[in-house]
Copies of this chain bind each other. A is one copy, B any other.
Amino acid sequence: MRKDIANLKYVFNPKSIAIIGASDNPEKLGNVILKNLVDGGYEGKIYPVNPKYDELVGLKCYPSIKKINRNVDMAIFAIPAQIIPKIADDCGKKGIKGIVVLSAGFGEIGNVKLEGELKKVVLKHGMAMIGPNCLGVMNPEKRVDSIFFPFYKFGRPKAGEISLVTQSGAVGSCIADLAAYYGVGFAKFASYGNGTTINDADLIEYFGADPKTKQILLYIEGTKDGEKLLEMLEKVNKKKPIVVLKAGKSKAAGEAAMSHTGNLAGNYMAYKAAFRQSKAIEVDSVVDLFYVANIFSQVRPKGKRVAVLTDGGGLGVLTADALDEEGLEVVNFSKETKSKLKKVLPEYVNVVNPLDIVADSGTDTYQKALRILMEDKEIDSIIVIILFQAPAVDSRIIDILVKESDRKKKPIIVVAVGGEYTKENRRVLDSYGIPTYGSPASAVRTLKRFSDYSLFLKNKK
Binding site for B on A (CB under 8 A): 32, 104-105, 109, 148-150, 152-155, 166-175, 177-178, 180-182, 219, 221, 245, 247-253, 255-257, 259-261, 265, 284-287, 310-318, 320-321, 323-325, 330, 348, 350, 352-354, 356, 358-360, 387-391, 417-423, 438-442
B321 touches A391 (CB 8 A): no
Q: How far is the CA of A257 from the CA of B440 in the complex (A)?
A: 15
Q: How far is the CA of A353 from the CA of B251 in the complex (A)?
A: 12
Q: How far is the CA of A426 from the CA of B353 in the complex (A)?
A: 37
The 5 closest A-B pairs by CB, nearest first: A168-B314, A170-B312, A181-B419, A250-B324, A260-B313
A174 neighbours in B (Cβ, 8 Å)? 312, 315, 387, 389, 417-418
Q: For A248, give its contact among B150, B317, B387 (CB under 8 Å).
A: B317
Task: Name which of A321, A323, A348, A422 has the most chain B CB atoms within 10 A of its CB.
Answer: A321
B284 touches A359 (CB 8 A): no
Q: For A252, give its contact among B245, B249, B330 (CB under 8 Å).
A: B330
Q: How far is the CA of A259 from the CA of B351 in the complex (A)?
A: 10
Q: For A170, give its contact among B286, B353, B387 (CB under 8 Å).
A: B387
B247 touches A178 (CB 8 A): no
B422 touches A177 (CB 8 A): yes
Q: Which residue in chain B gives the minimum CB-CB distance to A308?
A: B256
A310 neighbours in B (Cβ, 8 Å)? 170
Q: Given A149-B391, A180-B419, A252-B320 in contact, is the A247-B170 Cβ separation under 8 Å? A: no
Q: Which residue in chain B gives the minimum CB-CB distance to A310?
A: B170
B253 touches A320 (CB 8 A): yes
A175 neighbours in B (Cβ, 8 Å)? 417
Q: Which residue in chain B gives the minimum CB-CB distance to A315?
A: B170
Q: Given A248-B321, A353-B252 in contact, is the A170-B314 Cβ separation under 8 Å? A: yes
Q: Given A152-B421, A252-B320, A286-B318 in contact, is the A359-B170 Cβ separation under 8 Å? A: yes
Q: Given A177-B389, A252-B324, A421-B152 in contact, is the A286-B261 Cβ separation under 8 Å? A: no
A154 neighbours in B (Cβ, 8 Å)? 389, 418-419, 421
Q: Given A320-B253, A321-B248, A418-B178 in contact, is the A313-B261 Cβ separation under 8 Å? A: yes
B317 touches A253 (CB 8 A): yes
A104 touches B358 (CB 8 A): yes
A360 neighbours in B (Cβ, 8 Å)? 104
A253 touches B324 (CB 8 A): yes
A181 neighbours in B (Cβ, 8 Å)? 418-420, 423
Q: Which residue in chain B gives the minimum CB-CB distance to A324?
A: B250
The 17 sampled A-B contact pairs (Cβ below 8 Å) are A109-B350, A153-B389, A154-B421, A155-B421, A170-B313, A170-B314, A171-B312, A171-B318, A174-B315, A174-B387, A177-B419, A250-B320, A253-B330, A256-B320, A260-B317, A285-B318, A286-B441
A284 neighbours in B (Cβ, 8 Å)? 441
Given contacts A170-B314, A252-B353, A253-B317, 10 further A-B pairs with CB under 8 A are: A149-B390, A155-B419, A155-B420, A169-B314, A177-B417, A221-B317, A256-B313, A256-B316, A256-B356, A285-B440
A390 neighbours in B (Cβ, 8 Å)? 149, 153, 170
B315 touches A255 (CB 8 A): no
Q: How far is the CA of A441 from the CA of B170 in the complex (A)?
A: 16
Q: For A441, give its contact among B155, B252, B285, B330 (CB under 8 Å).
A: B285
Q: How far is the CA of A318 from the CA of B150 in the complex (A)?
A: 25
* Chain B min CB distance to A269 (Å): 14
Q: Which residue in chain B gives the minimum CB-CB distance to A221?
A: B317
B419 touches A256 (CB 8 A): no
Q: For A314, give its contact among B149, B166, B353 (CB under 8 Å).
A: B166
* Chain B min CB distance to A249 (Å): 5
Q: How far is the CA of A281 from the CA of B233 in the complex (A)?
A: 41
* Chain B min CB distance to A315 (Å): 5
Q: Given A153-B388, A320-B256, A389-B177 in contact, is the A314-B219 Cβ separation under 8 Å? A: yes
Q: Which residue in chain B gives the minimum CB-CB distance to A316?
A: B256
Q: How far is the CA of A419 from the CA of B427 in the complex (A)?
A: 11
Q: For A168, give its contact among B152, B153, B312, B353 (CB under 8 Å).
A: B312
Task: Name which of A153, A173, A255, A317 has the most chain B CB atoms within 10 A of its CB.
Answer: A317
A109 touches B348 (CB 8 A): yes
A348 touches B105 (CB 8 A): yes
Q: How far is the CA of A32 from the CA of B352 in the complex (A)?
A: 30
